[in-house]
Structure 1
Amino acid sequence: MSSASSMVDWDLAGRTARRLAGPGPQTTREDAAAVVRELHEAAAIAVAHVEELTGMTAVPGGPVPEVAVVDRPGWVDANARGMAALLDPLVDALAERTGSRPGALATAIGSRATGVQAGGVLAFLSSRVLGQYEVFGTGGRLLLVAPNIVATEQKLGVDPSDFRLWVCLHEVTHQLQFTAVPWLRPYLEAQIAEFVEATDLTADVLRERLQDVLRSVAGAVRGDDDGSEGLMALIKDPRQREVLDRVTAVMSLVEGHAEYVMDGVGPDVVPSVRTLRKRFAQRRKGRGPIDRVMRRLLGLEQKMKQYADGRVFVGGVIDRAGMDGFNQVWAKPENLPLIEELTAPERWVERVLGRPAVPA
C-alpha cells in the first residue's frame, strides 16, 4: 500500500488502527447477517428515491457502483488505501519539484512515526463513521459501516429499519453526485494537486508539520486544548487558501445536498424521519469527541460552520429556483458555489441563473 517514498507508512497506520479500534456492539452471527442483508436492501431501495427527488441519474454506460457493508477494520483498510492512492503521488511530485527527496533512512523513520499517529486517528474515526462514498482509491464504492449504524440506532432509540434507510439515502446521494457528474472527481483531484503545487515546503518540513497536526488531533480526542491551528498551520500561501476555499465550498455543497435529500423524502418513505432528524441533531450538538477532532484538524471554527452552511445553500437555492434551477450547479465547475455564496444562495441564483432570486 505504501510506496518507498511515502510520507505516511499507510500499512503501519492500518495495522495500528485495526489494533486500536473496538469491535462494536455484541451480536450473534445470525443477527449480523440480517443487518448486512437489510443494509444492502436499503441501499438498493434508496437509489430510486434519491433519483426521483433530485432529478439526477447516473451517466448511462458508466460503472455500476459497488455497495460494501463493512466492519470497522474494513473501513480502516479502505481509507488507508484511499489516502495512500491520493496523497503518495502528490508527495512524490512535491519532492521532485523541490528537489528535496529525503534519504531512505529518514523516510523510513519519519513515515513510521506519522503512520502510528495516522493509525490512531483512523481508529478513532472508524467507530463513528456510519457510511462513506469512496471518491478516491477504488474509483467509487459505497461503504456502510454496520457496527456503527447498529450502535447509533441503539443509542438514539430509533426504529432500526427507518434509520438504516435514512443513512442509505444520505450515502446514495453522494454516490449519485459522483456518478451523475463525471467532472466532479477530476475537479477535486485537480484542486488537491494545485494545493500541493502552491506549497514551497520541502517534503521533510511538510512531514514534520503533519506530525504536529496529528499530535494535536490526538490531543483533541483527549480533550486537550493547545491552541493549534490544525491543518491551517500547513497553509501559508494565499493561493493555497484560495484552493482550500474552493474545496470547502464543493464539499459543503455535496454534504448539504445529501442532508437535504435524507430529510426531503418525507414520512411516506421514512415514517419516523422527523424523529430521526431531531435525535440525530441532538447527537451532533456540543463539543463531543468527533467535533473536537474535526475542529482541531481544520484548525478554524468557521470551516466547520461552512459544512452546515451547505444545507442552507441547497435549501435556499431550491426555494428560489426549484430543483431544476438548483441542478445547474452540476452543469460545469464554474457553476459551483463560491465560499461566500454558501450563506447567500440568492447571490448564486443571480450569478449562475441570471435572474433575481425571489423566494418561492
Structure 2
Amino acid sequence: MSAGMVDWSLAVSVGSRLAGEGPEIGRAEAASVVQELRDGANRSTGLVRDFTGLVAADRTAPILVVDRAGWVQANADGFATVLAPVVDKLTSSGKAPSGLARSVGSRVTGLEVGALLGFLAGKVLGQFDPFHEPAGRLLLVAPNIVHVERELDVDPHDFRLWVCLHEETHRVQFTAVPWMAGHLLGEMHAIADSLEPSTVIEDGVARLGQVLRGGTDGASLIDVMGTPEQKEIIDRVTGVMSLLEGHADVVMDGVGPSVIPSVASIRKRFNKRRKGVGVLDRFLRRALGLDAKMAQYRDGAKFVRAVVDKAGMDEFNAVWAAPENLPSKAEIADPQAWITRVL
C-alpha cells in the first residue's frame, strides 16, 4: 500500500541524482576496495564475538558493498517497510487523499524523501538493515569510505577495517539477538496505532515549517513530530538506538588497538569530522536530527563503558536477554539506574 502514498521510484531517482557518484577511483582500485571491505566485514565477525561474547553465525546476513545509488535504493526499500504501518493506518481510515490529489501528493512526498536520501547518501559509511528478509543485510558504502579516508588522510586499510568493525557489530547485535528487529518494528507499529489520521498531514506540515524557521528551540523533526504518547515511544526507541550505536563504538575502540595500528589517530580525526562542516551541513544535521544521532554514539558508549567497568561484559550482556532489559533513554544517562533495575 505504501507505494500509493509515496512515489518511491521518484524518490530513488531524485536521491541518486543528488547523491552524486563520489570520489574518482580507477576500476582496479574500486574492485580492490570492494574485496577488502567484504573481507574486513567477514574478519570482524570473530573479532566482535570474542570481545562481546555475542554469538552470531558467520554469514547469516549478506554483505553488500554498494555505491551511493545502491544505498539510496536500499533505504527507500527500508523506509517503505518501516512506514507501511503508518500508511496502512491512513489508508484504512479513509482519511488519505485519493485520485489526482493522491497522485500529486505521492510525487511531492517522493521528491521530499528523495532529497533526504540524496543528502544522507553522501554521509553514511555503512549500516545494517535489520528489516530486510530473512535475516537483514549489511551495507558498506564504498565511495563514502574512500572519500572519508582521503579527507582524514588516514591509513586506508586501517580505516576500512575500523568501519567494518562498527558495522559488523550491528550485524552481530541483530543476528545474535533475533528478537531485536521485531521489537523495533513493533515500536513503529505502536507509533502508527497512536496516530490520528485526520491531523497527520496538517500537523506534520506545520511542524516542518517550525523546524525550518528555527522556531522550535533547536529541536529536530523527530522532536516536534509527536504527541506525548508518541514521544514516549520515541524515547524508548532512542534508548535502544543509543545502546546499539554506543555498543558498536565501544567494540570498535576495544578491538581496534589489537588489529588496527593507527586506530587512535583515526578516532581523533573522525570525532572532529562528526561535528559537521559548513553552515548548511550543520543546519541540515540539526533539522534532520543527525546531531541527536551523534549524541546517541556518545551517550550510548558512556553507558556501555560504565556498566562493563562496574559489572563486566558477561553481566552487561543481560541487556540482550529480553526487551524489558533494554535501557530507557533516562537509564542511558544513568547507568546505575539500569544496573539496579536489571542486575
TM-score (norm 2): 0.91
Q: 1:121–1:32: structure 2 CA closer, same or farther, 3 Å change rule?
A: same
Match of 2:284 in 1: 293
- Whole-angstrom CA distance in 1 between matches of 2:197 and 2:297: 28
Of the candidates 200, 206, 213, which is equivalent to residue 200 of structure 2? Answer: 206
C-alpha displacement of 1:344: 1.2
Is 1:328 matched with 2:326? Answer: no
Q: 1:46–1:304: structure 2 CA closer, same or farther, 3 Å change rule?
A: closer
Q: Gaps (5+ residues) in structure 2?
A: none
Structure 1 residues 266-345: aligned runs within 5 Å? 266-285=256-275, 288=278, 291-298=282-289, 305-345=295-335
Match of 2:77 in 1: 81
Is 1:346 matched with 2:336? Answer: yes
Of the candidates 8, 20, 32, which is equivalent to residue 10 of structure 1? Answer: 8
Across the aligned residues of Structure 1 and Structure 2, the Cα RMSD in angstroms comes to: 2.4
Structure 1 residues 115-264: aligned runs within 5 Å? 115-139=110-134, 140-202=136-198, 205-210=199-204, 225=214, 227=216, 230-236=221-227, 238-264=228-254
Contact 2:299 2:333 survives alignment (8 Å): yes
C-alpha displacement of 1:297: 2.5
Alpha-carbon deviations, 1:10-68, whole Å to 9, x = none?
A: 1110011112221111111111111111111111111110110000012x6x9821001
Structure 1 residues 27-42: aligned runs within 5 Å? 27-42=25-40
Compare 302-311 and 29-38 and name the one that shifted more: 302-311
Of the candidates 104, 107, 120, which is equivalent to residue 112 of structure 1? Answer: 107
C-alpha displacement of 1:232: 3.0
Contact 1:316 1:345 survives alignment (8 Å): yes
Contact 1:54 1:261 survives alignment (8 Å): yes
Q: Gaps (5+ residues) in structure 1?
A: 354-360
Match of 1:358 in 2: none
- Whole-angstrom CA distance in 2 between matches of 1:65 and 1:108: 36
Contact 1:83 1:136 survives alignment (8 Å): no
Contact 1:306 1:342 survives alignment (8 Å): no
- Whole-angstrom CA distance in 1 between matches of 2:89 and 2:59: 29
Counterpart amino acid of residue 35 in structure 2: R
For residue 268 of structure 1, give the secondary structure of its aligned residue in structure 2: helix
Q: 1:76–1:209: structure 2 CA closer, same or farther, 3 Å change rule?
A: farther
Contact 1:75 1:126 survives alignment (8 Å): yes
Q: Aligned residue pairs: how many?
A: 339
TM-score (norm 1): 0.87
- Relative to total residues, which structure has the larger helix share, 1 or 2? 2
- Whole-angstrom CA distance in 1 between matches of 2:159 and 2:208: 33
Match of 1:44 in 2: 42
C-alpha displacement of 1:176: 0.4
Alpha-carbon deviations, 1:58-100, whole Å to 9, x = none?
A: 2x6x98210010000000000001111221343113432x342
Contact 1:117 1:214 survives alignment (8 Å): no
Alpha-carbon deviations, 1:319-339, whole Å to 9, x = none?
A: 011000110000001100011
Contact 1:82 1:138 survives alignment (8 Å): no
Match of 1:357 in 2: none
Counterpart amino acid of residue 331 in structure 1: A
C-alpha displacement of 1:234: 2.4
Of the candidates 98, 101, 124, which is equivalent to residue 103 of structure 1? Answer: 98
Q: What is the aligned-residue identity percentage?
A: 49
Q: 1:306–1:50: structure 2 CA closer, same or farther, 3 Å change rule?
A: closer
C-alpha displacement of 1:296: 1.3
Alpha-carbon deviations, 1:248-278, whole Å to 9, x = none?
A: 0000000000000010014221111111111
Contact 1:117 1:211 survives alignment (8 Å): no
Compare 255-264 and 129-138 and name the one that shifted more: 129-138
For residue 129 of structure 1, give the secondary structure of its aligned residue in structure 2: coil
Alpha-carbon deviations, 1:203-254, whole Å to 9, x = none?
A: xx4245545667788x6xxxx7454752333212x21111011000000000
- Whole-angstrom CA distance in 1 between matches of 2:32 and 2:146: 12
Contact 1:39 1:144 survives alignment (8 Å): yes
C-alpha displacement of 1:282: 1.1
Q: 1:216–1:67: structure 2 CA closer, same or farther, 3 Å change rule?
A: farther
- Whole-angstrom CA distance in 2 between matches of 1:105 and 1:175: 42
C-alpha displacement of 1:126: 0.5
